[in-house]
Amino acid sequence: MLHFNRLLTALAISLLSIAGFAQEDTVAQRIAPVGDVYLDGEIVTAETKKSSTPTAAPRTAEKIYNTYCMACHATGAAGAPIKGDAAAWQPRIAQGTEILLKHAIQGFNAMPAKGTCADCSNDEIAATIAFITRGLY
């Protein structure tokens, strides 16, 4: 009888440990991530395989303005001249487009360099300035 009890105990322990492993698998499956997050350009797709450098659609001046410039240039925050306000822009325009572009690229007073669009090219900044000051010249 003692031998049978030991055998029964060993069998119960074996079954419980197997059940524990099975339970760990289901827990791991339940808490596994449902997806992955990738930044633009991190995943190689069929489109990016065609070229060694992925090409993004060029950003328009309006898109850059709406993304990076509008917070200040639509509200006048930190003394920024408001888009369309000829009186606010005239002293800046009078300095010439080179100075205006230099200030936009390097930053000026409260405006940070490139207006926080660190990855904007100088040409994109120039186009955005033209968009903001359109009709004021």
Residues 96-117 have pLDDT tens digits of 999 999 999 999 999 999 999 9
* Helices and strands, counts by H and E, the chain: 7, 0
Tell how far CA 74 is from the center of its chain.
22
pLDDT in the model for residue 36: 76
Query: Domain map of the chain by residue range?
Result: 2-49, 61-132
The pLDDT of 87-104, averaged and rounded, is: 94
Residues 43-82 have pLDDT tens digits of 766 555 555 555 567 799 999 999 999 999 999 999 999 9
Of 76, 82, 57, 71, nearest to 117 by C-alpha is 71
Asked if pLDDT for residue 129 goes beyond 70, the answer is yes
**C-alpha distance from residue 106 to each of 25, 89, 93 (Å):** 56, 18, 17
Assign domain 61-132 to its CATH architecture: Orthogonal Bundle (1.10)
Q: What is the 3-state secondary structure (H, E, C) of 84-115?
A: CCHHHHHHHHHCCHHHHHHHHHHCECCECHHH
The pLDDT of 22-28, averaged and rounded, is: 68
- E strands of 7-136, at which residues? none
